[in-house]
Amino acid sequence: MPQPLNTSEDFLLAAKHAEIAALQQLQINCTLVTRVTELIHELQRERGLSNTYLVSDGQRFSQQRDDELKATGIAEVRFRDALTELNQSLQFPDSARLLSSIAFVIQCLEGLPALRQQVTARKISAKDNTLLFSRLISGLLTVVFEAADIADDPEVTRALVALFNFLQGKEYAGQERAMGLIGFTQGNFPNELQEKVRELKDAQARCFDIYTEFSTTIPKARWRQLESSEATTELDRLRRMIERYRSEDSLPTSISEVWYEVATRRIDEMQSIELDLTADLTSLCDEKIQIAEEDLRLHREHLKELAAVNEPPESPLALLPDGMLDSGRGITPGVNVKLARSISDLVQGQAERLQRISSELAEARQALDERKLIDKAKGLLIQSKGISEDEAYRHLRQAAMDSNKRMVEVAVNVISVAGMLSSG
């Protein structure tokens, strides 16, 4: 049975123990995030191969798809293992949304075998296949988002925000590959498909801008290098071909293989950066736990040494100002002045550190808060206008462009107007 906390020393050390426990939970969450990124990558590859298989009427990528199903299965097992570890340790009081997003993902994974059977039998269109795979991947991205939202360490939160936006940008790149593959394989790009490819390109740019803002020097430099690479240059050339396409044009279907190869090369390079981001995240959590444990050890030793000092009692309570400690006013018998002064310094230092962390955390979470506002505004538009999520997003984007405002500002206006209408 644990001993009751009675002294300021007890509570000071207990606070450090709580900090370590929170970091350890954060480490487990980051392990889950790593497994999520692995599963997302394999699902993106499976989606691309499945679409080629479907659009080519089963003539292309059959064997590659079979090989990828095995890789996706391994990634799913690792993901579920991480869920088991999370379930055994979860301590965050604000984890309801994280758990709900995980429940959604598990439900989608349970429907995956049936979807694969439809693909094998060619009983589903490439468009519908893309939508169902994208729905699952979107759920997995939400897991990363929620893990970032409940993180209470500013550096880890910044790393998670950078990773989330990179993953989101990579997913838009995967969807662009899928949409472009459909158009090139069928030899034409109807207006709707052209617009979708353009939107996905713009969406990537937004995500990678936020990633660049929150990322550290080396991953940021790697992204800039990728953006100037041969694969990106070739992809931009094919993108311009899509933009210039007109209904009377004729596209050779063989371009589909070039598009897939170029887009895949770029996405695989993204995965290399992604692996560095998750490795850096793991190292950051390990480092913070080591620092916190060392701080705890030093605190404990320091307090122990001071408590052993044999000197006349001269001090009142630990938190009295230095002037009162030095003057001897308000002296309480039996209090060690060095111990009292040391505890005062430790408590004051901890309070200042928590204040600094709180400010840094608020700054790091700004991007997450803005996404929540945009999502809320999209939900209101979907409900009030009876439109799709993509249409709601286009509505917000167009309104932002027309008013020369940031999208989050438009989202705030939508939410405000909806609130006034509902209260009226």
Residue 88: its pLDDT value, please?
Answer: 63
Residue 87: its pLDDT value, please?
Answer: 72
CA–CA distance, 410 with 170 (Å, rounded to integer): 26
Residue 90: its pLDDT value, please?
Answer: 58
CA–CA distance, 181 with 238 (Å, rounded to integer): 11
* Residue 226 burial class via C-beta count within 10 angstroms: exposed 0-12, middle 13-18, buried 19 and up: middle
Residue 224: its pLDDT value, please?
Answer: 93
**Residues in Cβ contact with 403 at an 8 Å cutoff, skipping those fewer than 6 apart:** 410
Residue 343: its pLDDT value, please?
Answer: 54
pLDDT along the chain (424 residues), means of 10: 61 71 78 93 91 86 93 96 78 73 94 96 92 93 86 84 92 91 87 90 90 89 93 94 88 86 92 92 88 78 65 45 47 50 57 60 72 82 79 80 81 77 58
CA–CA distance, 193 with 180 (Å, rounded to integer): 8
Give me the DSSP letters along 18-69: HHHHHHHHHHHHHHHHHHHHHHHHHHHHHHHHHHHHHHTTT-SSHHHHHHHH
**Residues in Cβ contact with 351 at an 8 Å cutoff, skipping those fewer than 6 apart:** none
Residue 331: its pLDDT value, please?
Answer: 42
Residue 233: its pLDDT value, please?
Answer: 94
The residue type found at 42 is E
Residue 319: its pLDDT value, please?
Answer: 45
Reported as type and span, the H/E element at residue 302 is helix 255-307
- Please tell me what DSSP assigns to residue 122: T
Residue 160: its pLDDT value, please?
Answer: 87
Residue 210's Cα: distance from chain center in Å? Answer: 12
Q: SS3 letters for 362-399?
A: HHHCHHHHHHHHHHHHHHHHHHHHCCCHHHHHHHHHHH
Residue 67: its pLDDT value, please?
Answer: 95
- 10 Å Cβ neighbour count for 141? 21
Residue 393's Cα: distance from chain center in Å? Answer: 20
- Please tell me what DSSP assigns to residue 7: S
